[in-house]
Chain A
Amino acid sequence: MSARGLDGADRAGAATLGDAIAFTVNGRAVSVTAPPLRRLADALRDDLGLTGTKVGCNAGDCGACTVLLDGEQVCSCMVSLAQAAGRSVETVEGLARNGRLNRLQRAFLRHGAAQCGACTPGMLVAATEVLRASPRPSPVQVMDGLGGVLCRCTGYRKIVAAVLDAAGDAPQPLGTPPPGAAVGARLAKLDGVPKLTGAERYGADAVPQDALWLRIVRSPHDSARVVLGDLEAAAAGWPGVARVLTAADVPSNRVGIYPDLRDQPVLTEKIVRHRGDAVVALLGAREAVTTVRDEDLPIRYEPLPAVRGLGEAQATGAPRVHDEMESNRLIEGGVECGDAAAALAGCAVTAEGRFETAFVEHAYIEPEAGWARRVGERVELFVSTQAPVMNQVMTAEVLGLALRQVRIVPSACGGGFGGKLDVSVQPLTALGAWLTGKPVACVYERPESMMASPKRHPSLIEARMGCDGDGALQAVEFDATFDTGAYASWGPTVASRVPIHATGPYAVPAVSARGRAYYTNGPPAGAFRGFGVPQAAIAHEALLDDLAEGLGMDRLELRLKNAIRVGDATATGQVLEASAGLAPCLEALAPRWQRALEDAARSNTQDGPVRRGAGIGCMWYGIGNTALSNPSAMRITLDREGRLTLYNGAVDIGQGSTTILAQICADALGVAADRIAQVLGDTDWTEDAGKTSASRQTFVSGKAAELAGSALRAAILREANAAGDATIELAGGCVVVRDGGRRVEIALGRLKADERGVVLEGAGSFDPPSTALDAKGQGAPYATYAFGAQIAVVDVDTELGTVTPVRIHAAHDVGRAINPTQVEGQIEGGIAQGLGLALMEEYLPGKTENLHDYLIPTIGDVPEIEVIIVEDPEPLGPFGAKGVGEPGLVPTAPAILGAIRHATGVRVTRVPALPHRLRAALRAREAGP
């Protein structure tokens, strides 16, 4: 019944609050009493508690919320609750029957098709529709059917494979490997099942019913003075708004990554420095804080001149983004070895170039989300994060609390890629809970996530490279400037990491490399998979191609000739002692390279606008923090019932550390991996494993897990007085140790237990050895480096300027693949992001704040990928392993750009190579010099 207009027409079919809307969900009759215009996604999640359906954009752009409505896939964020009346809704929760995964879910688990899991419900539901229509679909049918769901982790290939495999004769699910065989096994994700059933809890999934909601009001200006009016009086006029938080309410109003660079106000202090800067926060009932329109708030903006881009930031007389700074320059770093200028002058062949990249958005499918509650004199946060301990430190600092008064419990993380290292909802939800005593939740909408979260740094790189007549590299000069936006975030990390990597993975005797970061009124730029190294690789790999052309040498051959090897020194003077596997990567690629060149030549014998090309890119990447301590500590306990618990503070953001650390720890201990339960990343229970970034968790936390497992093993063997090669078997409340012919049974109940029943434990910690860099950037900044090389084959439509990747071959030296499926998953996912960087991704504030104007690759954009795993063991790492989280992304853009050049002769120096830019370059080339 309509609240107004009670006439005949309006009565017909009118539905308002108070009318229950009935439909079925997964075959069960339900009835929801809620506004009829409510999004079906919200009704499922909030009214029915079915939080398996994820909301990624509320705009039909990402497909995470896909459900079947009368058997057809729809975005439940674009269907009104009223339109579900009388119909059948199927969600991810309906797939498993009696707790048993269905064939499709089992295939996803087997193939590693779910990483972070945020797109997984949408993918599974979309695939269900495809499989019902075509039980044995073709790859094209799968891609067309799943084309409406975005994934940012997997690169889609394993998803396609899983759907195809679900349709066919699926082999049995993987069993757990026997003790001692976990490392190297394709173990299914230990946390995989809840990601496939919808049971997993992400930041927005477990908000208490009685929570207040917090909405941050954000600046619509790049740069402005802010005058706040009487917010209290205004709030009194909005029913349901409990209070409005301003900077005055925040005990310590600054956040930032570096203790000496807390330059970002939690809420504005009179000046806003980028579109999306936080101004005030509304706290109250969920509907109420959404209903208040920003323009109705007593907030006046007086626009100030804005600094846009690196040119303006460096211009004389440029406005200063931060008044207290002398200029807009945030930081400068560099590496000097030998006399690069003199060496370049003596080179037989030189190359130089100027390369430009844009802001790039992480576009994880799960926007920032979490909630906080006050428990006595403590505050607890359940939040999507990559860095629980850094969150704890920052939240305590903002609230003026002791560290122990803040507890961070990471939710499942629906993708991070560096973007969830900085705090987002943490300080203000904690403050709100602290002040009101009620739970306080905050979930970013997609545009807010895009406006407020850090980006990949735009870069301008000018570089020169030279070699002798035989192609041996002699010198590199490299000058990189980065736009760090309004706040420092991880800018200093990027500016220091890049010069170290400026040479690429090659031995170069003379190097002069500088990196600088400047403030602008752009979005804050921070950490994003690779910390600036992907931008640098675009430059050094283009110059390698130039040199190959100048020398008349094959591009792969030139790279192989110069590949840095064990015994060579890097530009920082660090002599590599082990595990420098670029050469074997290139050797593995060599036959594929020949075939790719032949394929291109053959394809191009036909006339037509489409030209095929092959390109190659190489990378290296220092694992862990740059020239800084970055320890991790792990602990595993055995209780009197024989239960093993790994206290694992490393956050699994989809990359797989929960599984990988268990595999490592299990083999170190000598038990099967599925015997180990875990407590994950709860700051009350786990030690600091460091943040999930810099490709460090397998290497650093993995080593700590290995040491913890070994320590517990040693403790058990001591109890049994057994030798090191004895076997351990857990049998209920006792441990059976077999040492040669001897069998010892340790009755755990007889051992002394602590208050939690723990009888034995092993602890391990690891801080990879590195040294600080001196004034010339000399030292050993990383304990180990990852290496890789990729070949891209692309088709370029020269009339339209469009690029279609055809195939990618990726060879990566990971030291040791603890779990090959997950290694492939990281590489394939990195490749998809590298493809986006090369061809389509460019964040423009105010213009691309959603996932239809900001384009990331879809399932149809990622070509066939062949991953070749190279294992040159790293003695420091667990079972020889290094990291692979970031490396997959780094060489992709260079390989694609090299392929475009091979196909067309156009040397792309600005990414993304959007169709209109590439077409303009092609036309300029046709027109001649």
Chain B
Amino acid sequence: MPDYLRPTALDDALAALSRRRLTVLAGGTDFYPARVGAPLDDDVLDISALPALRAIEERDDHWRIPALATWTDIVRADLPHWFDGLKLAAREIGGRQVQNTGTLCGNLCNASPAADGVPVLLSLDAEVELASLERRETIPLADFLRGNRETALASDQLMLAVRVPKPRAERARGHFLKLGARRHLVISIVMVAAALEADAAGRVARAQVAVGACSPVARRLTALEEALVGRPCDAALGEVVTEPHMAPLAPLDDARGSAAYRLDAARTLATRTLAELGSMM
């Protein structure tokens, strides 16, 4: 009989993790699908009863999305336009059932190359809070994600939250486009997320663009970001995108699409994301 721990205090959870190998269970939307037809014999740490890990909070210089916040919580939260891309991603992941139980933090810990939460959070320069019994640390998401289903999470650590730094500019907005082969319940072929900040003159002060499902971990397109800075915020931003901007991507061929197609579609989606975002700024 495997163990099933469902602590109600964070320190108890961390203490348990410090002692032994446990599979962390939150929303269950990655855990159960990975065990179809297989015995449920993991020793499990169910963190869903931990207190104070659900509500999304605004803090001094950042927003905090804690470990148990679901996609639906994100959709329902009263958040600034900076989070529009994240909300779009939340609405398109799985069906309502997955949105109601699946958590953003779980999506990050699962670290699929096609994780819908990753490109958006990279475009928002997100950080993650990690905790073990001994210490807490906050590291950039980009450092947390190390590869296809590889993360920096140690076996004694829990992810407590995602932090999204507040934009510096008053005019700041995010956007997200996802391409799949059907309308609902679809794993992304390509995703593009972008976040822009405008200066007082209406020009791009800061740009962050990330592409998902085109490399083991979603990638930022830094050359494109640099090319966007200083341009007027309008639909013409889409025209800035060129093929060389896609250089950081290294897509694979699979049943959902060829590598060449992914590159091509990433460019198209980047163009559209920026054109739409530019005109909404």
- Provide the residues of chain A in CB contact with B265, threshold 8 Å: 800-801, 915, 919
Among A7-53, those with CB < 8 Å from B are 7-10, 12-17, 35-39
What is the distance, in angstroms, from B39's C-beta to the closest C-beta of chain A? 4
A857 to B265, CA, bound (A): 22
Verify if A63 is at the interface (C-beta below 8 Å from B).
Answer: yes
Q: How many residues of A contact B (CB 8 A)?
A: 79
Residue interface bits B63-92, CB-to-A below 8 A is 1, else 0: 000000000100000000000000000010
A701 to B192, CA, bound (A): 55
| B25 contact from A80, A445, A848, Cβ within 8 A | A80
Verify if A819 is at the interface (C-beta below 8 Å from B).
Answer: no
On whether the beta carbons of B184 and A77 are closer than 8 Å, the reply is: no
Residue interface bits B6-35, CB-to-A below 8 A is 1, else 0: 111101110110011000010111011100
A143 to B42, CA, bound (A): 36
On whether the beta carbons of B3 and A4 are closer than 8 Å, the reply is: yes
A8 to B9, CA, bound (A): 12
- Provide the residues of chain B in CB contact with A860, threshold 8 Å: 182-184
A849 to B249, CA, bound (A): 28
On whether the beta carbons of A60 and B182 are closer than 8 Å, the reply is: no
Q: Is the interface of B mostly helix, strand, loop or mixed?
A: loop
On whether the beta carbons of A916 and B258 are closer than 8 Å, the reply is: yes
Contacts known (A59-B32, A78-B29); A919 close to B187, Cβ less than 8 A: no
| B189 contact from A73, A858, A915, Cβ within 8 A | A915
On whether the beta carbons of B36 and A445 are closer than 8 Å, the reply is: yes
- Provide the residues of chain A in CB contact with B39, threshold 8 Å: 287, 290-291, 293
Verify if A914 is at the interface (C-beta below 8 Å from B).
Answer: yes
Verify if B48 is at the interface (C-beta below 8 Å from A).
Answer: yes
- Provide the residues of chain B in CB contact with A74, threshold 8 Å: 97, 100-101
Residue interface bits B242-276, CB-to-A below 8 A is 1, else 0: 00000000000011111011101100110000000
- Provide the residues of chain A in CB contact with B100, threshold 8 Å: 69, 72-74
- Provide the residues of chain A in CB contact with B48, threshold 8 Å: 83
What is the distance, in angstroms, from A9's C-beta to the closest C-beta of chain B? 4
Q: Is the interface of A mostly helix, strand, loop or mixed?
A: loop
Verify if A278 is at the interface (C-beta below 8 Å from B).
Answer: no
On whether the beta carbons of B1 and A72 are closer than 8 Å, the reply is: no
Verify if B179 is at the interface (C-beta below 8 Å from A).
Answer: yes
A815 to B198, CA, bound (A): 66
Verify if B38 is at the interface (C-beta below 8 Å from A).
Answer: yes
Contacts known (A5-B20, A37-B2); A919 close to B264, Cβ less than 8 A: yes
Verify if B139 is at the interface (C-beta below 8 Å from A).
Answer: no
- Provide the residues of chain B in CB contact with A293, threshold 8 Å: 38-39
- Provide the residues of chain A in CB contact with B20, threshold 8 Å: 5
Residue interface bits A73-96, CB-to-B below 8 A is 1, else 0: 111011110110000000000000
On whether the beta carbons of B185 and A148 are closer than 8 Å, the reply is: yes
On whether the beta carbons of B96 and A126 are closer than 8 Å, the reply is: yes
What is the distance, in angstroms, from A327's C-beta to the closest C-beta of chain B? 31
A874 to B28, CA, bound (A): 55
Residue interface bits B168-206, CB-to-A below 8 A is 1, else 0: 000000000001011111110100000000000000000
Residue interface bits A398-410, CB-to-B below 8 A is 1, else 0: 0000000000000
Verify if A415 is at the interface (C-beta below 8 Å from B).
Answer: no
Binds B, one of A112-120, A731-739, A839-847: A839-847
A303 to B185, CA, bound (A): 36
On whether the beta carbons of A8 and B15 are closer than 8 Å, the reply is: yes
- Provide the residues of chain B in CB contact with A839, threshold 8 Å: 181
Verify if B167 is at the interface (C-beta below 8 Å from A).
Answer: no
Residue interface bits B47-62, CB-to-A below 8 A is 1, else 0: 0110000000000000
Verify if B46 is at the interface (C-beta below 8 Å from A).
Answer: yes
Most-contacted residue by chain A among B4, B6, B37, B264 (CB, 10 A): B4
- Provide the residues of chain A in CB contact with B29, threshold 8 Å: 60, 75, 78
On whether the beta carbons of B16 and A9 are closer than 8 Å, the reply is: yes
A8 to B16, CA, bound (A): 9
Contacts known (A147-B184, A860-B184); A79 close to B28, Cβ less than 8 A: yes
What is the distance, in angstroms, from A74's C-beta to the closest C-beta of chain B? 5
Verify if A554 is at the interface (C-beta below 8 Å from B).
Answer: no
| B7 contact from A12, A144, A923, Cβ within 8 A | A12
What is the distance, in angstroms, from B112's C-beta to the closest C-beta of chain A? 11
Verify if B240 is at the interface (C-beta below 8 Å from A).
Answer: no
Verify if A920 is at the interface (C-beta below 8 Å from B).
Answer: yes
Residue interface bits A810-851, CB-to-B below 8 A is 1, else 0: 000000000000000000000000000001101010011010
| A861 contact from B16, B182, B264, B269, Cβ within 8 A | B182
What is the distance, in angstroms, from B180's C-beta to the closest C-beta of chain A? 9
On whether the beta carbons of A59 and B36 are closer than 8 Å, the reply is: yes
Contacts known (A9-B15, A63-B95, A78-B101); A3 close to B257, Cβ less than 8 A: no
Name A72's closest neighbour in chain B (CB-CB): B100
Name A3's closest neighbour in chain B (CB-CB): B1
Verify if B98 is at the interface (C-beta below 8 Å from A).
Answer: yes
Name A858's closest neighbour in chain B (CB-CB): B184
On whether the beta carbons of B185 and A150 are closer than 8 Å, the reply is: yes
What is the distance, in angstroms, from B151's C-beta to the closest C-beta of chain A? 21
On whether the beta carbons of A148 and B98 are closer than 8 Å, the reply is: yes
On whether the beta carbons of A78 and B28 are closer than 8 Å, the reply is: yes
On whether the beta carbons of A13 and B33 are closer than 8 Å, the reply is: no
- Provide the residues of chain A in CB contact with B95, threshold 8 Å: 63, 147-149
On whether the beta carbons of B255 and A848 are closer than 8 Å, the reply is: yes
On whether the beta carbons of A145 and B3 are closer than 8 Å, the reply is: no
Verify if B227 is at the interface (C-beta below 8 Å from A).
Answer: no
On whether the beta carbons of A148 and B37 are closer than 8 Å, the reply is: no
A77 to B8, CA, bound (A): 24
On whether the beta carbons of A14 and B101 are closer than 8 Å, the reply is: no
A358 to B230, CA, bound (A): 50
On whether the beta carbons of B96 and A800 are closer than 8 Å, the reply is: no
Verify if B94 is at the interface (C-beta below 8 Å from A).
Answer: yes
Contacts known (A14-B6, A848-B255); A75 close to B179, Cβ less than 8 A: no
Among A141-163, those with CB < 8 Å from B are 143-145, 147-150
- Provide the residues of chain A in CB contact with B9, threshold 8 Å: 12
What is the distance, in angstroms, from B11's C-beta to the closest C-beta of chain A? 8
On whether the beta carbons of A2 and B101 are closer than 8 Å, the reply is: no
- Provide the residues of chain B in CB contact with A914, threshold 8 Å: 181, 256-257
| B36 contact from A80, A291, A800, A850, Cβ within 8 A | A850
- Provide the residues of chain A in CB contact with B134, threshold 8 Å: none
Residue interface bits A518-541, CB-to-B below 8 A is 1, else 0: 000000000000000000000000
A214 to B41, CA, bound (A): 20
Contacts known (A4-B3, A9-B15, A15-B4); A78 close to B33, Cβ less than 8 A: yes
- Provide the residues of chain B in CB contact with A147, threshold 8 Å: 95-96, 183-185
Verify if B44 is at the interface (C-beta below 8 Å from A).
Answer: yes
Verify if A331 is at the interface (C-beta below 8 Å from B).
Answer: no
Among A539-568, those with CB < 8 Å from B are none
| B179 contact from A69, A145, A802, Cβ within 8 A | A802
Name A916's closest neighbour in chain B (CB-CB): B261
Verify if A184 is at the interface (C-beta below 8 Å from B).
Answer: no
Verify if A447 is at the interface (C-beta below 8 Å from B).
Answer: yes
Q: Give me 19 A-to-B residue pairs in the complex whose CB atoms sit less than 8 angstroms apart, sorted by A's number.
A: A5-B3, A10-B5, A10-B16, A14-B6, A16-B1, A37-B2, A60-B32, A78-B31, A82-B4, A82-B46, A148-B96, A149-B95, A287-B39, A802-B179, A848-B255, A852-B33, A853-B187, A857-B182, A860-B184
**Which 8 residue pairs of A and B lie closest in terms of their CB atoms, listed nearest first?**
A148-B95, A860-B183, A147-B184, A916-B261, A9-B15, A59-B33, A445-B37, A12-B12
Further 6 A-B residue pairs, CB within 8 A, beyond A75-B98, A144-B184: A15-B4, A16-B1, A72-B100, A148-B185, A802-B181, A853-B256
